[in-house]
Structure 1
Amino acid sequence: MNGVVIAGVASGVGKTVATLAVCRALQRTGRVVQPAKAGPDFIDPSHHEAATWRASRTLDPWLEGESGMRRNYARGSGDVCVVEGMMGLYDGETSTARVAEALSLPVVLVVDASAGMESVAATALGFREYAARSGLDLDVAGVLASRAHGGRHEDGIREALPDELTYFGRIPPREDLEIPERHLGLEMGDESPLSTETLDAAADGIDVDAIVDAAREPEWFAAVEDEDDASARTTDAADAADADDRPTVAVAADDAFRFVYAATREFLRKRAEVVTFAPTAGDDLPDCDGVYLPGGYPELHAAELSASPALSTLADRAADGLPIFGECGGLMALAESLTTVDGETHEMAGILPADVTMRDRYQALDHVELRARTEALICPEGRTLRGHEFHYSEADPAIDARFAFDVIRGKGIDGEHDGLTEHRTLGTYAHVHPESGAFDRFVDAVAESGGGSRNGHDSSRAQH
C-alpha cells in the first residue's frame, strides 16, 4: 500500500482539513483511501472516518514500538494511505518526522500561506534541509499551501518553489473549513463533520496526480504484510478450534465513551465476543465475562451516567469479581463521584475509591510509562507498560486506595501512581494500545472469569 504523510510546520496550520481534502481528492478519482494518524490522538481519526467511511489507523512508536507501528500500518487496506501528522513536523521525541522516517514515507508539508508567498517556499526549503542536518532519512517532498487564495497568490507560491520541492496544491481560506474546538481539541467527526460540498471545495485545489506520484510503498511493507497474514491465519485457526470458549466482553459505546483505537476494536473482536452498550442512553450492562470502559466525555453526560442502571450493575458485578478495565473516562465513571466545571456533583459507580473533579485547564498531556506494583489486570508484576494521558479532570483517591502502577513517566493519578484497583476492577488515566500487550492480558483474565481459558495465547506485540 502506497502512503504519504501530511505534516505541518506547526500546530494550527490546518493539517486535519488538508488531510481530509487530500483524502477526498483521491476518492474522487476512484481510489480507496486508508486514513491514519501519527500520534495517540482519538479526535482527528474520527474526522478521517466521517470523511472516508473507513477507520483510521493509529501510528505511534511510543505506544506500539516501531515494529508494532509498521504492523498497524500494514493492517490497513487501500490504494493510498494518507497519514495525518501531529504538531509541527519535528516537534516531540516521537515526532511526525520520526514516524515518517520509520515508515519510509514521503512528507507533504502544510504551510499556512495566509500572509505569505515567497516565504512559503523559504519555509519549506528550510524544513527539507533541516532533515539532513538532523541526520534524519526523511523526504520532504513538497508543499500544500493552507489558506491560500488562487490567482496571483497561488502562482507566487508555486513559482518560488525550488525544483526539488513539488507544489501539491492549496486549501482555500473558507470559514466553513474551520472545525470547532472544545477542551480536548476539535469536536468529534460525527459532531461537526465537514459537508461534502465543503470537502469538494477543498479538494478542488489539490493536485491529485502529484500526490499519487509522491506516494510510495515502503520496502518493508510486503514482508510485514506476509508475516501478519501468517499470524492472522494461525490466530483464526485457534479461534475456530475453541470458538465455544470465547469470552464475552461488554464495551461501553456512546457519547460518553468514544475514545477507542481501531486496533483495539479489531483485537477484542478477534479474541472475544464483543457486545456494546450505551450507559447514557439508559442501557443496562449486558451479560458478559468482562467490561471495557474507554475514554471519552463522561463530564458532558454526568447526569445521564449517574442515572444509568449500568453503573449500579457494574458495582454489583465488580464486587462479584468481574474483570473491568476503564481508561480515563472509564476511570471517572468507576469512581465515587464526578464534579463538573459548573460545580455539579454526580454519583458514579462507586467501585474505585476516588472523587473526580473537572478543571479549567488540562492536568496531564504526555506519553506515559508505568511499572506494575503487583499483578495487574493488564500487566504482570514488575513489567512496564507504555501509554498516553490527556485529561482535564483530577482524581482525589482515598487514603487507603490501592494503586496498580508506579509512574516512571507522566503524571498518572497523583504524580507517582496510576491505576486505581479494587476487586478485579482497574481504572487508569493512561490509554494503552493493543501492541503493548495490555489487552492480551485483559482478555486472558476475562476468559478465566468466564470459564473459557485462553492463557498461552502467543502475541508478537511489543513488550517493554
Structure 2
Amino acid sequence: MSLPDRSSTSLTRGLVVAAPRSGSGKTLLTLGLMRAFRNQGLRVGGAKCGPDYIDPAFHAAATGQQSLNLDSWAMAPPLLRALAAAAGEACDLILCEGSMGLFDGVAGEPGRTGASADVAAALGWPVLLVIDVSGQAQSAAAIAKGCALYDPRIEIAGVVLNRVASERHRQLAARAIESQGIAVFGALPRAKSVQLPERHLGLVQAGETENLEALLDAIAGFVSEHIDLKAILPRAQAAAVGVDAQMSALAPPAQRIAIARDEAFSFLYPHILAGWRSAGAEICWFSPLADEPAPEHCDLCWLPGGYPELHAGQIAAASAFLDGLRRFAQTKPVHGECGGYMVLGQGLVDKDGKTHRMAGLLGASFSFAKRKLHLGYRDARIAADHPLGPAGACLRGHEFHYATVEAADASDPPFAFVKDAHGNPEQAEGARRGHATGSFFHVLSAARSDGLTKI
C-alpha cells in the first residue's frame, strides 16, 4: 500500500461487516466473504475498525492483499479517507471488519469515538449487519431495526443471521426482519468445524494457525453455501472523497529503521509502515528469534509488540541479538512498544513463574505470571525530545496487554505522560535511559489538530 498523492479520488466500493455486540461472528463472516469473493476473481481488500493487529493478518491471508486499520478515535476523517483510498487502488471491493458493537466507542466529538459506525459514515460504506440469533427469533427484528434507525449517518445494507438452530428458527427471524424493510442475505448454522483458535490476546496469529489456507477455504465454502453472495455484492458502495495531499499518520523517526519481525515481534500497523516508506524511510527487518542483531547501518531500532512472553527463553538465549541491541543502544536510539518494551527491561517472568534475563537497557522487570488486563485508548505526551517528536509532542494510540511491571527503577524517567479517553488524570508511562526508550503504549497516529502528517 502506498499513500495517495492527488487532489481528489473516488473510494473503491466497500462494506463494513459489523454486529450489535462482540462475539456475534464478524470475523468468521468477513473471512468467508473475503475468500469467497476472491475465489470468484475479484480483487478483495481488507480493513479493520480500531486498533487490532491480529484480524488484519487473517484478512491478508484470505485476500492476498495487505489489510489496514481504520480508527476513528485516533485518525481524523481526512486521514481515514486517505488510507482507504490508498488501500482501494489495487482492489475491486474492500470488506472492513468492525470492532465490538457497531456503535460502541468512547466519549468524544461526533465522528471521533472509535466506533465502527464512525468509519462507515466517514467513508460512505454501508453496513452488513451480522446478528447472533441464538436464544431469540423475531426479537432479532427489533435489534436490526434499532441499528437501522439509531444513527442516521449510516445505511444498513442488510443482515446475515448467525448460529441458527433450525430451518424454522431461520424463517421466524428472517421474516420478522424482512417485515421491517431490511434485507436478509442468508443464515449461518452453528458449526464447530470452521472455528478459529484463540488465546489470551484473542485469536492465534495467522502465521501460527495450522493449515490456515485449508481453513480459510472451508470458511469460504461454509459462507458461500448459506449466504447469497450475488445479493450482497451490489450493496457495496463507493463514495467520492477529496484527498488534499499525500498523508501519513506518523512521520518516520529515522531514515533507516531496523524493525524486529518474527513470531515474538509482529504488532506493527501497516498504515504506519506505509507512511514511513512513502516519506522515503528505509525499513530493514531482522529476527530476534533467529538470533539476528539489529543491522548496524540503521539509524534507529524499533522493537514492536507481539508475544515475547511465549518465547522468553529463546529470546534470553539469543546472545547475538541481545549483545547487538546493547551495542546499538550505545550510540543510536532503540524504542520498544509493549512486548518490545519488556524485552528492553531487566527480566521477564513467564506464565510458569520462571525469570528470563532480557536486554537490561531499561531498569524495569516484567511479569506475565501476574496477569492483569490493561486496555484502552491513550493520548501520550512525549516527556523529552525523541525521534517520534520533541518534548510535549502528542501521539494517539492504545494499550492492550496482560503483563505487569514487577519492579520499576525510579531512576529511569518516563517515556511519556498518558491519559485515557475517559478523563482520568495523566500518568507517567514507560521509561527512558540513555538512547533506549519503551512503554506499553502503541502509537496509531500523531495527534495534530487536523489529525494529519503531510509528507
Q: TM-score range by the shorter chain?
A: 0.7 to 0.9
- Shift of residue 167 of structure 1? 1.0
Aligned partner of 2:154 in structure 1 is 138
Aligned partner of 1:167 in structure 2 is 184
TM-score by length of structure 2 reads 0.86
Helix, strand or coil: the match of 1:179?
coil
- Shift of residue 33 of structure 1? 0.9
TM-score by length of structure 1 reads 0.84
Any conservation in 2 of the 1:8–1:88 contact (CA below 8 Å)?
yes
- Shift of residue 408 of structure 1? 2.5
Q: Which has the higher contact order (CA 8 A, sep 6+)?
A: 2
Any conservation in 1 of the 2:263–2:306 contact (CA below 8 Å)?
yes
Q: Is there any run of 5+ residues in structure 1 with no aligned partner, and where?
A: 236-245, 438-458
Aligned partner of 2:163 in structure 1 is 147
Aligned ranges 1:218-229 → 2 under 5 Å: 218-220=239-241, 223-224=242-243, 227-228=244-245
- Shift of residue 63 of structure 1? 2.2
Cα gap change, 1:69/1:348 in structure 2, threshold over 3 Å: closer, same or farther? same
**Residue 44 in structure 1 maps to residue 61 in structure 2:** no
**Residue 16 in structure 1 maps to residue 27 in structure 2:** yes
Aligned partner of 2:225 in structure 1 is 204
Aligned partner of 2:193 in structure 1 is 176
Q: What letter corresponds to residue 85 of structure 2 in structure 1?
A: A
Q: Identify which of 374, 384, 397 aligns with 2:394.
A: 384
Q: Identify which of 324, 328, 335 aligns with 2:338.
A: 328
**Residue 357 in structure 1 maps to residue 377 in structure 2:** no
CA distance in 2, matches of 1:349, 1:370: 25
CA distance in 2, matches of 1:218, 1:268: 27
- Shift of residue 419 of structure 1? 3.3
**Residue 129 in structure 1 maps to residue 152 in structure 2:** no
CA distance in 1, matches of 2:219, 2:165: 16
Helix, strand or coil: the match of 1:398?
coil
- Shift of residue 389 of structure 1? 0.5
The two structures, once aligned, show a CA RMSD in angstroms of: 2.5
- Shift of residue 268 of structure 1? 3.3
1:296-322 deviation line (CA, Å, top 9, x unaligned): 000000011111121121112202x21
Any conservation in 1 of the 2:340–2:438 contact (CA below 8 Å)?
yes
Aligned partner of 1:268 in structure 2 is 276
Q: How many residues align?
A: 418
1:221-263 deviation line (CA, Å, top 9, x unaligned): xx22xx45x679xx9xxxxxxxxxx943211111100011111
Q: Is there any run of 5+ residues in structure 2 with no aligned partner, and where?
A: 1-11, 107-113
Q: What letter corresponds to residue 353 of structure 1 in structure 2?
A: G
CA distance in 2, matches of 1:141, 1:168: 10
Q: What letter corresponds to residue 2 of structure 1 in structure 2?
A: R
Cα gap change, 1:311/1:63 in structure 2, threshold over 3 Å: closer, same or farther? farther
Q: Identify which of 341, 347, 350 aligns with 1:340.
A: 350
Q: What letter corresponds to residue 57 of structure 1 in structure 2?
A: L
CA distance in 2, matches of 1:19, 1:360: 35
Aligned partner of 1:279 in structure 2 is 288
Q: Identify which of 99, 106, 119 aligns with 1:86.
A: 99
CA distance in 2, matches of 1:272, 1:376: 17
Helix, strand or coil: the match of 1:202?
helix
Q: What letter corresponds to residue 294 of structure 2 in structure 1?
A: L
CA distance in 2, matches of 1:306, 1:394: 19
Helix, strand or coil: the match of 1:279?
coil
More helix by share: 1
Any conservation in 1 of the 2:399–2:441 contact (CA below 8 Å)?
yes
CA distance in 1, matches of 2:207, 2:200: 17
Cα gap change, 1:410/1:298 in structure 2, threshold over 3 Å: closer, same or farther? farther
- Shift of residue 218 of structure 1? 1.6
Report sequence identity in percent.
35
CA distance in 1, matches of 2:203, 2:192: 15
Helix, strand or coil: the match of 2:430?
strand
CA distance in 1, matches of 2:115, 2:346: 38
Bigger mean CA offset, 92-101 vs 193-202: 193-202
